Amino acid sequence: MNQAVTRKGGSPHIRGFIDFLRSTKVLGVLLAVFNYIIVFAVLMTAVIPKQFSLKEGDIVQTPISAPWDAEDTIATDKLRQAARDSVSPIYRFDEHISESVLAEVEDVFNRIDEARILVEERFTAYKQELQAQMIYEDQNAETTGEESVSEEADTSVEDLREPSPDEILTDQFIGEIRDNFPIMLSRDEILACLNADIEELNQLQEHLLTALSGLLELHIKQDNLLEAKNALREEMMSLPISNELRILGTSIGVSTLRSNMILDEKATEEERDRAAENVEPVMYKKGQYIVQAGQPISEQQYAMLQKLGMLKEEKLNIPVVLGIGIIVLLTEIVVILFLTAFEKRAITNPAHLLMVSLIIWMVLGLALSTSQIHQYLIPTALGAMLLTILVGPLAAGIVNVALSLLFGVMFDNSLNIIIMTLTGGILGIYICNNAKQRNGLVWAGIATSIVNFASIFALEMMSSSGWFAALKTSLWGIGGGLLSGIFLVGTLPIWENLFGIVTPIKLVELSNPNHPILKRMLMEAPGTYHHSIIVANLAENAAEAVGADGLLARVGAYYHDTGKIKRPFYFKENQIAMGNPHDNLNPSLSTHIIISHVKDGIELAKKYKLPKVIQDFIVQHHGTTSVAYFYHKAKEEDEDGSVHIDDFRYPGPKPKKKETAIVMMADTVEAAVRSISDPNPEKVETLIHRLVRSKLEDGQLDDCHLTLKDLNTISNAFTGVMTGFFHERVEYPKVEEKVE
Q: What is the 3-state secondary structure (H, E, C) of 24-62?
A: HHHHHHHHHHHHHHHHHHHHHHHHCCCCECCCCCCECCC
Q: Which helix (H) or strand (E) holds 709?
A: helix 708-725
Using a 10 angstrom Cβ sphere, with 0-12 exposed, 13-18 middle and 19 or more buried, the burial of residue 685 is middle
CA distances 560 to 56, 130, 521, 543, 700, Å, are 76, 155, 11, 16, 17
Q: What are φ and ψ of residue 715, in 5° steps?
A: -60, -45
- Residue 276's nearest CA partner among 92, 463, 73 is 73
- Residue of higher predicted confidence among 53 and 647: 647
433 within domain boundaries: yes
Q: Which helix (H) or strand (E) holds 667?
A: helix 658-674
Report whether pLDDT(534) > 90: yes
pLDDT band at 480 (very low <50, low <70, confident <90, very high): very high
- Asked if 79 contacts 279 with a C-beta cutoff of 8 angstroms, the reply is yes
- Asked if 378 contacts 370 with a C-beta cutoff of 8 angstroms, the reply is yes
CA distances 224 to 215, 249, 259, 479, Å, are 11, 20, 8, 68
Lowest-confidence segment of 121-125, 395-399, 635-639 by average pLDDT: 635-639
- 218 is in which domain, residue-wise? 92-263
Q: Could you give the 3-state DSSP secondary structure of residue 628?
A: helix
Together in a domain, 440 and 517: no
| Beta-strand pair 261-263/64-65 | unpaired
Together in a domain, 493 and 519: no
User: According to the model, what pLDDT value does residue 601 have?
Assistant: 92
Report whether pLDDT(557) > 90: yes
49 within domain boundaries: no
Together in a domain, 517 and 564: yes
- Residue 55's nearest CA partner among 344, 270, 248, 303 is 303
Q: What CATH number has the domain bearing residue 467?
A: 1.10.1760
| CA–CA distance, 495 with 354 (Å, rounded to integer) | 11
Report whether pLDDT(736) > 50: no
Can you count the helices (H) and strands (E) in the chain?
A: 32, 6
571 within domain boundaries: yes
Q: What is the pLDDT of residues 650-671, one digit of tens each?
A: 888 999 999 999 999 999 998 8
- Asked if 422 contacts 451 with a C-beta cutoff of 8 angstroms, the reply is no
Q: Which helix (H) or strand (E) holds 262?
A: strand 261-263
Q: What are φ and ψ of residue 66, in 5° steps?
A: -75, 130
Q: What are φ and ψ of residue 337, in 5° steps?
A: -65, -40
* Cα end-to-end distance, the chain, whole Å: 100
Q: For Cα atoms 196, 197, 199, give the angle at the middle one, nearest 5 degrees.
A: 130
User: According to the model, what pLDDT value does residue 157 have?
Assistant: 45
pLDDT band at 585 (very low <50, low <70, confident <90, very high): confident
User: According to the model, what pLDDT value does residue 4 have?
Assistant: 36
**SS3 track for 386-415:** HHHHHCCHHHHHHHHHHHHHHHHHHCCCCH
| CA–CA distance, 709 with 272 (Å, rounded to integer) | 83
User: According to the model, what pLDDT value does residue 692 have?
Assistant: 93
Q: What is the pLDDT of residues 371-429, one digit of tens each?
A: 888 889 999 999 999 999 998 899 999 999 999 999 998 887 888 899 999 999 999 99
268 within domain boundaries: no
Out of 213, 228, 263, pick the residue that ends a domain: 263
| CA–CA distance, 618 with 603 (Å, rounded to integer) | 10
| CA–CA distance, 561 with 530 (Å, rounded to integer) | 11
- Residue of higher predicted confidence among 401 and 299: 401
Q: Give the count of beta carbons closer than 10 Å to the beta carbon of residue 72.
A: 20
- Asked if 48 contacts 315 with a C-beta cutoff of 8 angstroms, the reply is no
User: According to the model, what pLDDT value does residue 167 have?
Assistant: 64
Convert 295-310 to b/e letters by CB count within 10 Å (16 or more is b).
Answer: eebeebbbbbbeebbb
Together in a domain, 567 and 528: yes
- Asked if 259 contacts 222 with a C-beta cutoff of 8 angstroms, the reply is yes
Q: For Cα atoms 203, 208, 210, give the angle at the middle one, nearest 5 degrees.
A: 100
User: According to the model, what pLDDT value does residue 352 have?
Assistant: 84
Angle between helices 198-217 and 95-142 (to 10 degrees): 160
Q: What is the pLDDT of residues 11-20, one digit of tens each?
A: 454 444 445 4
Q: Which helix (H) or strand (E) holds 64?
A: strand 64-65
| CA–CA distance, 272 with 80 (Å, rounded to integer) | 9
Contacts of 411 (CB under 8 A, 6+ apart): 46, 68, 371, 375, 417
User: According to the model, what pLDDT value does residue 162 have?
Assistant: 63
Together in a domain, 626 and 688: yes
List alpha helices for 220-349, DSSP H. 225-237, 243-256, 265-277, 299-307, 318-342, 344-348
User: According to the model, what pLDDT value does residue 302 have?
Assistant: 78
Structural domain tally of the chain? 3
User: According to the model, what pLDDT value does residue 78 have?
Assistant: 87
Q: For residues 552-568, give the mean pLDDT.
A: 92
Per-range mean pLDDT, top range of 33-42, 142-151, 678-687: 33-42
- Asked if 376 contacts 340 with a C-beta cutoff of 8 angstroms, the reply is no
Q: What CATH number has the domain bearing residue 532?
A: 1.10.3210
Q: For residues 226-246, give the mean pLDDT.
A: 87
Out of 236, 263, 290, pick the residue that ends a domain: 263
Q: For residues 201-206, give the mean pLDDT.
A: 86
- Residue of higher predicted confidence among 489 and 159: 489
Q: For Cα atoms 99, 102, 107, give the angle at the middle one, nearest 5 degrees.
A: 120
User: According to the model, what pLDDT value does residue 467 have?
Assistant: 80
| CA–CA distance, 184 with 247 (Å, rounded to integer) | 13
519 within domain boundaries: yes
Strand partners, 384: none
CA distances 598 to 153, 499, 669, 700, 703, Å, are 172, 24, 19, 17, 20
pLDDT band at 97 (very low <50, low <70, confident <90, very high): confident
- Asked if 723 contacts 684 with a C-beta cutoff of 8 angstroms, the reply is yes
Report whether pLDDT(579) > 90: no
Together in a domain, 546 and 598: yes
Contacts of 538 (CB under 8 A, 6+ apart): 557, 666, 669, 670, 717, 718, 721, 722
Report whether pLDDT(613) > 80: yes
Together in a domain, 465 and 535: no
Lowest-confidence segment of 63-72, 95-104, 619-628 by average pLDDT: 63-72
Together in a domain, 458 and 515: no
List alpha helices for 548-656, DSSP H. 550-559, 587-607, 612-620, 628-637
User: According to the model, what pLDDT value does residue 465 have?
Assistant: 58
Together in a domain, 464 and 521: no
379 within domain boundaries: yes
| CA–CA distance, 534 with 103 (Å, rounded to integer) | 121
Q: Is the pTM of this model over 0.75?
A: no
- Asked if 401 contacts 394 with a C-beta cutoff of 8 angstroms, the reply is no
Using a 10 angstrom Cβ sphere, with 0-12 exposed, 13-18 middle and 19 or more buried, the burial of residue 294 is exposed
Percent of the chain with pLDDT over 70: 87
Using a 10 angstrom Cβ sphere, with 0-12 exposed, 13-18 middle and 19 or more buried, the burial of residue 28 is middle
21 within domain boundaries: no
Q: What is the dihedral of CA 368, 374, 375, 380, to 10 degrees?
A: -70
- Asked if 649 contacts 624 with a C-beta cutoff of 8 angstroms, the reply is yes
- Residue 248's nearest CA partner among 184, 156, 333 is 184
Q: For residues 478-484, give the mean pLDDT.
A: 93
Out of 237, 263, 289, pick the residue that ends a domain: 263
- Asked if 625 contacts 650 with a C-beta cutoff of 8 angstroms, the reply is yes
- Residue 382's nearest CA partner among 438, 444, 436 is 444
- Residue of higher predicted confidence among 9 and 551: 551
Report whether pLDDT(621) > 80: yes
DSSP one-letter code for 511: T
Q: What is the pLDDT of residues 37-66, one digit of tens each?
A: 999 999 888 877 666 667 777 787 778 777
Together in a domain, 244 and 114: yes
| Beta-strand pair 283-284/70-71 | antiparallel
Question: DSSP letters along 70-116, please?
Answer: EE-HHHHHHHHHHHHHTSPPPEEE-HHHHHHHHHHHHHHHHHHHHHH
Together in a domain, 490 and 584: no
Together in a domain, 569 and 654: yes
User: According to the model, what pLDDT value does residue 418 have?
Assistant: 93
332 within domain boundaries: no
User: According to the model, what pLDDT value does residue 68 have?
Assistant: 65
Q: What is the dihedral of CA 253, 256, 257, 260, to 10 degrees?
A: -160
